[in-house]
Amino acid sequence: MSDASPEFGAADVQVLTRTPGYRGFFSLDTWVLRHRLYAGGWSQPFSRELFVRDAAAGVLLYDPVRDEVVLVEQFRIGAMVDAETRGTSPWLLEVVAGIIAPGESAAELAQREAVEEAGCQIRELIHILDYFNSPGGSNEFISLFCGLVDSAGAGGIHGVPEENEDIRVRVLSSTQAWQALQEGRMNNAMAIIALQWLMMNRDSLRTQASEKHAENT
């Protein structure tokens, strides 16, 4: 197996200035820096704008007994330009997700948002992976999970009104969800990654659920 470790680290970057910029719902800062080059020496100083976002977590809610996923649908401002230019919809089909509060773990956030956004209690939480959402210009770091739930009765409108959330719960079979992805209806990175993981692990999750059911009967 090849070694995929990076050649350089944080010590190979010199931050010359870090200037706070816009402050609103999100923040934007300007950094001037230079870093070591693969060919040797240092780069010339250059500037980059950094879109500052707190760490977030997402959770794909899956019922291995019914073979159903519980997704959420809501308006997203980031999809408006595409909606205006290509006639798509700015209401996206997503997994449950949210920004991690101070003192809260990613796993605790997943449990909390599952209730707030989808009205579901997670029975078992499985960590999928952690990743940078858009490292070319943002520090946003995402922890992604699969939460095993009972999808019976899931549905309705959820969200926190004070946060301008208007969230519709959608329950789909795993086949329907996969078809939605292939048709471009599920077009955001967190949902795509989570559903691809589910398709690779679906059989084992269903087998484990059947075994647990047999033990309890």
Residue 102 lies in a domain: yes
CATH number of the domain within which 119 lies: 3.90.79.10
pLDDT band at 164 (very low <50, low <70, confident <90, very high): confident
CA distance linking residue 168 with residue 161, whole number of Å: 13
Are residue 136 and residue 31 in the same domain, yes or no? Answer: no
Q: Are 172 and 69 in contact (CB under 8 A)?
A: yes
Q: Which residues pair with 72 in a beta bridge?
A: 94, 169
47, part of any domain: yes
| 46 and 86 both lie in a single domain | no
Residues 41 and 66 in one domain: no
Averaged pLDDT score across all residues of the chain:
94
**Would 5 be classed as within a structural domain?**
no
Q: For the chain, what is the domain count? A: 2
Q: Which of 146, 155, 153, 121 is nearest to 206 (CA)?
A: 146
Residues 127 and 157 in one domain: yes
Q: Which residue in 78, 83, 88, 160 sits closest to 118, CA to CA?
A: 160
The residues carrying an active-site annotation are 163
Both 15 and 121 in one domain: the answer is no
pLDDT digits (tens, 9 = 90+) for 89-132: 999 999 999 999 999 999 999 999 999 999 999 999 999 999 99
pLDDT band of residue 211 (cuts 50, 70, 90) is confident
DSSP 187-213: -SHHHHHHHHHHHHHHHHHHHHHHHHH
71 and 168 assigned to the same domain? yes
Arithmetic mean of pLDDT, 193-202: 97
pLDDT value for 2 = 62
Domain span holding position 84: 56-215
